[in-house]
Structure 1
């Protein structure tokens, strides 16, 4: 980073204030030591020097804190008068008055600026009236040489105030644009609706904070009515209040809720969401437009999240049964095996018996209806930690987690096998199928691939022994089936440990 960037303040306003402060000090400093008026004596002259030093200190304090207080506003004109009327030539004190006006016009409210300017305009005439003799001449405060200095002070003060207003507006516009750009980028990376709403609320609070005196709230239709969900620069007790429906068309009714905010503007969005801005004075169009842009960003973010949820569901769920797909299921199995202790995770591999007969006899529509009912019965098992999935065709699986005993997996499989044998009503009659279920319980050292392979072997063993039954994998009992299935096992992956 260049050295000048570290020394100079950030922003055009900060640099303008620094330049004005330096020029003001250069204009005022020469008067230090010039307090040798023969009219008032040495004591008053010393106080005049002290007053000029205090004026310089006040300018430095104002620059360092970037603000002014009312005590400064009221104290600066008397100090300026004291610093001018003890000069050898009071008319030369115009440099002190102009220097003060040059810098302080860049700070404070409009009321403070008007009071300061009025006080500074009177400093030279008052100083001349207190010291009518200057450099051997007699002066009267209402003479043209004296009053002619007032327009110079006024011109400098008005000019610098206009520059201040323009720079403040530019910096606020830049800050608003930066907040909107930063929030838009952040919303693109949001993963849920709560994060989108949090980003929107934070950006709204940042934008309205740039404009003191403006409040912001968002109201959404809930079962209780039009409820305030978020606020910024308003009392916390406003959040959660139920507003009358009329505020949407007549936002002025909010005056009863927030008395000092007399002017309100409302912007409505789909979903019965309403954004309101309030202020003691009319809300600036630029602020209203920024909040509208932010609201649209949040709205687009909500739609993006909703679309992402739909696409994620479609990509990871079977379109017919709405069960998770093979790829998603395998990821869940892997995560469960890695996270859980041996014996608490099990896998049920399910293959419907004689499903082809249903398709051939009753048609594919009946087959689809049967698959949907099978999925519903798997979901209705009521077993905590159970995740059913469809691999395709008539192949299903269930992941069981959080088992207290390994034997519970076999009991759950028996119950499911019984449920699946109950008749199913289809369009042109009633059909019945069975289910061959293989059970495998994760043991210490097992990987997800081991668990899936063992459940698959157990399922084929159940089919080989007559179908419509449950078979739990056992390495000793299923050795022959394991050898028959070995060519289907990818090389390099162990069967079991």
Structure 2
């Protein structure tokens, strides 16, 4: 006949093991829930600070991140960039908003590739901005960078059975101090509108719709 004391001890031990198992399960569920909540919070923060279409920082995030960069620039020259697509409304009118969205995504990717590790953002609509480190604020460097960026943006964009080419008016201006971002952006914006109004290379700037499929 089993010893009642041994039986009682076994029951207690089994109960303790079961209790420990339940506690571990509860702790694992709590840890998983915390992880899920942290992921949701990170996603909400990202959505609040990034453009949902292109994935670039939005206007609010651009100014916040730019302020940090200006504080930490350590004397490196910084160049403000503003660009606006030429005749972008034609894309939406002729090909639909899905095509327009694809053009904006392509432009964002090319701007990001041009900027490298520097800050770029979509301010809204077809307007983008950037803050670039540069080796110099010499006007020749700025002119060269402007031309190179325009050339990158003007490359054909495959879109279904068509190839679209859109171009951009671009303005660059040096940031002369940590508190001068707004003024630099104003100057870059003015330079962009001068380029648009002058229509430099206007034939090259017009929307091109090739009749042959994209290669």
Same fold (TM over 0.5): yes
Partner of 1:434: 167
Partner of 1:307: 40
1:346-361 to 2 correspondence within 5 Å? 346-361=79-94
Partner of 1:336: 69
Kept in 2, the 8 Å contact 1:342–1:444? The answer is no
Partner of 1:392: 124
Which among 166, 189, 196 is matched to residue 463 of structure 1? 196
Give 1:406 shift. Answer: 2.6
Give 1:443 shift. Answer: 0.9
Give 1:326 shift. Answer: 0.8
Give 1:341 shift. Answer: 4.1
Give 1:356 shift. Answer: 1.3
Give 1:347 shift. Answer: 1.5
Q: Classify 1:410/1:328 alpha carbon distance in 2 versus 1 (closer, same or farther; 3 Å).
A: farther
> Is the partner of 2:119 in helix, strand or coil?
strand
Query: Aligned partners of 2:63 and 2:84: how far apart in 1?
Result: 17
1:408-423 to 2 correspondence within 5 Å? 408=141, 410-423=143-156
Q: Classify 1:287/1:398 alpha carbon distance in 2 versus 1 (closer, same or farther; 3 Å).
A: same
1:485-496 to 2 correspondence within 5 Å? none
Is the radius of gyration larger for structure 1 or structure 2? 1
Query: Aligned partners of 1:396 and 1:468: how far apart in 2?
Result: 21
Partner of 2:135: 404
Give 1:287 shift. Answer: 2.9
Q: Classify 1:468/1:400 alpha carbon distance in 2 versus 1 (closer, same or farther; 3 Å).
A: farther
Query: Aligned partners of 1:315 and 1:445: how far apart in 2?
Result: 25
Query: Aligned partners of 1:357 and 1:350: how far apart in 2?
Result: 17
Give 1:392 shift. Answer: 1.4
Give 1:349 shift. Answer: 0.3
Partner of 2:185: 452
- Where structure 2 has 5 or more consecutive residues not aligned to the other structure, the ranges are 1-12, 203-215
Q: How many residue pairs get matched?
A: 187
Partner of 1:251: none
Give 1:332 shift. Answer: 1.0
> Is the partner of 2:25 in helix, strand or coil?
helix
Give 1:448 shift. Answer: 2.5
Deviation sequence 1:221-249 (CA, Å, 0-9, x none): xxxxxxxxxxxxxxxxxxxxxxxxxxxxx
Give 1:319 shift. Answer: 1.6
> Is the partner of 1:380 in helix, strand or coil?
helix
Deviation sequence 1:160-217 (CA, Å, 0-9, x none): xxxxxxxxxxxxxxxxxxxxxxxxxxxxxxxxxxxxxxxxxxxxxxxxxxxxxxxxxx
> Is the partner of 1:444 in helix, strand or coil?
coil
Query: Aligned partners of 2:52 and 2:119: how far apart in 1?
Result: 17
Query: Aligned partners of 1:449 and 1:301: how far apart in 2?
Result: 40
Q: Classify 1:447/1:291 alpha carbon distance in 2 versus 1 (closer, same or farther; 3 Å).
A: farther
Higher relative contact order (CA 8 A, sep 6+): 2
Kept in 2, the 8 Å contact 1:350–1:436? The answer is yes
Give 1:416 shift. Answer: 1.7
Query: Aligned partners of 1:379 and 1:442: how far apart in 2?
Result: 20
Which among 348, 373, 377 is matched to residue 106 of structure 2? 373
Query: Aligned partners of 1:317 and 1:327: how far apart in 2?
Result: 9
> Is the partner of 1:458 in helix, strand or coil?
helix
> Is the partner of 1:377 in helix, strand or coil?
helix
> Is the partner of 1:284 in helix, strand or coil?
helix
Q: CA RMSD in A?
A: 2.4
